[in-house]
Amino acid sequence: KAGVTQTPRYLIKTRGQQVTLSCSPISGHRSVSWYQQTPGQGLQFLFEYFSETQRNKGNFPGRFSGRQFSNSRSEMNVSTLELGDSALYLCASSRDRGRGYGYTFGSGTRLTVV
């Protein structure tokens, strides 16, 4: 079966711009979680969507937002980009909520802010 697909794979943006990243979960998976990975902070939880509703949110500013569509595909948006937003953004899908062992990660979107 197809894995978790994230697009685009790479992105270069300038400070102040906004960006939208996409994540298509494995077919049948209804939960999508987003993580930011940086060398200094490691993997940090952004938010989780389940049945088109944000269920949990990590400790990130309001510039980071997301949504989930009826087909479970999810997008995350970062507005007013800052240099510190440069990171690998990973999404993970699972069939149900709270099933960390059922997480399948995508290959990520590498965002570079210049």
Partner 1 sequence: EDKVVQSPLSLVVHEGDTVTLNCSYEVTNFRSLLWYKQEKKAPTFLFMLTSSGIEKKSGRLSSILDKKELFSILNITATQTGDSAIYLCAVGEMSGGGADGLTFGKGTHLIIQP
What is the per-residue binding string for partner 1 in 49-88, x denoting contact by CB under 8 A? ------xx-x-----------------------------x
Among 49, 78, 85, 106, contact with partner 1 (rule: CB under 8 A): 106
Positions in 14-53 near partner 1 (CB under 8 A):
33, 35, 41-48
DSSP the chain: ----EEE-SEEEE-TT--EEEEEEPPTT--EEEEEEEETTTEEEEEEEEETTEEEEE-S--TTEEEEE-TTS-EEEEE-S--GGG-EEEEEEEESSTT-GGG-EE---EEEEE-
**Contact positions vs partner 1 (CB under 8 A):** 3-4, 33, 35, 41-48, 55-56, 58, 88, 90, 97-101, 103-108
